[in-house]
Amino acid sequence: MHKLKIVADEKIPFLDKLFYRIGEIKTLPSSEIKKENIKDFDILMVRTVTKVDAQLLENTRVKIVCTMASGIDHIDRIYLKKNNIRFIYAPGSNARAVAEYVIVSLLLLAKIKNISLNNKTVGVIGVGNVGKKVARFCSALGMNVLLNDPPKFNRFKNIKYLSLKNLSDADIITLHVPLTFSGKYKTYHMADENFFSSLKNGTIFINTSRGSVVDERALLTYHKKLLGIVLDVWENEPSINIELLKITDIGTPHIAGYSIDGKFNASFIVYKKLCKLLGIKPSINKSEVFPRTIIEKDISIRNDIFQTLYEIILQIYNPLNDHNELIKITKIGTSARREYFEMLRKNYPFRREFTNYLLRVNTLDSHFKKYEEIFKSLGFKIKNRG
């Protein structure tokens, strides 16, 4: 048997450290992942920016496709199945990163809009890997959580998945559904005119799922009834709607899940699945490639948990920085906007998840015990200074 040949997007992290024992690796920029450049390879590894279909794969030697992502709407799975091409992906790999992005965005919006999140009701639409974490984090903060996931309800018959009966019941709506174009649970343009007209005035709207879940024309029509808009995903990426970007409070270039932890998780999940598919015993230890990191932060406890978290989290991650970089696209000529959007994604700065942070707190503070469980629920570690 010939040595396996792997062709991969050059921006996939940890490639050499994880896959060097499996085969010979060649990397390409995503723009160069074309039929003529991959036709003599056995395994193709991509990110979400690459559409994998007949146009890319026909008359190539590729027999295994791997995507280092949890979403798969860029993959023509029907074509792969018909042509006996195996497929590997990484569901849930960046779920924590996306959920943290949602929580941080809510804390920022509350500060910007001068509102309290205390006792606000959050409607989580789509209760998969990300939606479950968002619901758990919001509950830990004392917010009321309503869920909506008809497929899950029909599978498990648990009424909690339909607790969000009317969109107007929620102060905040956050979308965490896959993108599907047909069938009983089609999500393409799920957030349409009827959707937005059903929201009560002053709702906060967040989408970190897929851009085409939202009918952007409808959102532009109804945006004035919304208190806040957070969009990480856009229709027709990387050719995004500039007018929509201008009316968002936080608009980012599809990077909600782009923590370095999430990226490693995706690559490592694919590594283990590929080893299993090839009948190879995994020989690489997770900690060898991605050692555990503890970053210590001294913090002060305020009377208000949301103010406390706001101050802590801004030391860790501020999505307004990403927003400010993306908004520069409005000053760029139309022809260069696609490249700018992709450049922001390709060169995204280093970001760690909450689980890497140890908060050093003075236990003499009377509010500490009250908030300790909340910090832990979000993934932070706690160390007593006193």
Catalytic residue among 237, 325, 342, 353: 237
Interatomic CA distance for residues 261 and 356, integer angstroms:
9
Q: What is the DSSP string of 22-77?
A: TSEEEEE-GGG--HHHHTT-SEEEE-TTS-BSHHHHTTS---EEEESSS--TTB-H
Catalytic residue among 47, 96, 176, 210: 210
Partnered with residue 88 across adjacent β-strands are 66
Residue 111 CB neighbours (<10 A)? 14
CATH at 310: 3.30.1370.170
8 A C-beta contact, residue 159 and residue 152: no
Same domain, 104 and 194: yes
Residue 336 CB neighbours (<10 A)? 11
Catalytic residue among 47, 96, 254, 345: 254
Quick check: is 323 catalytic? no
Quick check: is 155 catalytic? no
Provide the Cα torsion 267, 269, 273, 276; round to 10°: 100
How open is the CA angle 47-148-176, to the nearest 5 degrees?
Answer: 15
Q: Give me the domain span that covers residue 63.
A: 5-89+260-284
Q: Residue 125: which H helix or E strand, with range?
A: strand 121-125
Same domain, 268 and 236: no
Pairing of strands 250-251, 295-298: unpaired
Same domain, 116 and 239: yes
| pLDDT computed for residue 1 by the predictor | 44
The residue among 198, 228, 251 that closes a domain is 251
Kindly state the tokens that stand for 346: 């390709």
Interatomic CA distance for residues 248 and 267, integer angstroms:
32
Same domain, 162 and 68: no
Residue 77 lies in a domain: yes
167 burial (CB, 10 Å; 0-12 / 13-18 / 19+) is buried
Residue 335 CB neighbours (<10 A)? 7
pLDDT tens digits, 23-76: 999 999 999 999 999 999 999 999 988 999 999 999 999 999 999 998 898 999
Same domain, 44 and 149: no
Quick check: is 352 catalytic? no
Write down the residue that tokens 């409005």 correspond to.
330
8 A C-beta contact, residue 109 and residue 318: no
Kindly state the tokens that stand for 53: 């279909």
| pLDDT computed for residue 363 by the predictor | 64
Same domain, 246 and 266: no
Residue 242 lies in a domain: yes
Of the candidates 97, 109, 151, the one whose C-alpha atom is nearest the C-alpha of residue 262 is 97
What DSSP state is assigned to residue 355?
A: G
Same domain, 85 and 99: no
Same domain, 302 and 274: no
The pLDDT tens digits along the chain (386 residues) read 467 999 999 999 999 999 998 999 999 999 999 999 999 999 999 998 899 999 999 999 999 999 999 889 899 999 999 999 999 999 999 999 999 999 999 999 999 999 999 999 999 999 999 999 999 999 999 999 999 999 999 999 999 999 999 999 999 999 999 999 999 999 999 999 999 999 999 999 999 999 999 999 999 999 999 999 999 999 999 999 999 999 999 999 999 999 999 999 999 999 999 999 999 999 898 888 998 889 998 888 878 889 889 999 888 999 999 999 999 999 999 999 999 999 999 899 999 999 999 998 876 566 677 788 899 999 999 887 76
Residue 202 lies in a domain: yes
pLDDT tens digits, 333-382: 999 999 999 999 989 999 999 999 999 887 656 667 778 889 999 999 98
| pLDDT computed for residue 271 by the predictor | 96
Residue 289 lies in a domain: no
Same domain, 80 and 105: no
Q: What is the DSSP string of 167-222?
A: GGG-SEEEE------SSTT--TT-B-HHHHHHSPTTEEEEE-S-GGGB-HHHHHHH
CATH at 14: 3.40.50.720
Residue 183 CB neighbours (<10 A)? 8
Interatomic CA distance for residues 149 and 152, integer angstroms:
5
Residue 290 lies in a domain: no
Q: Residue 362: which H helix or E strand, with range?
A: none
Partnered with residue 238 across adjacent β-strands are none
Same domain, 348 and 377: yes
- How many structural domains are present in the chain? 3
3-state helix, strand, coil in the chain (%, to 5): 40, 15, 40
Same domain, 203 and 101: yes
Same domain, 219 and 115: yes
Residue 280 lies in a domain: yes
What DSSP state is assigned to residue 303?
A: S
pTM, rounded to two decimals? 0.94
199 vs 179, 248, 250, 275, CA distance in Å?
22, 17, 19, 47
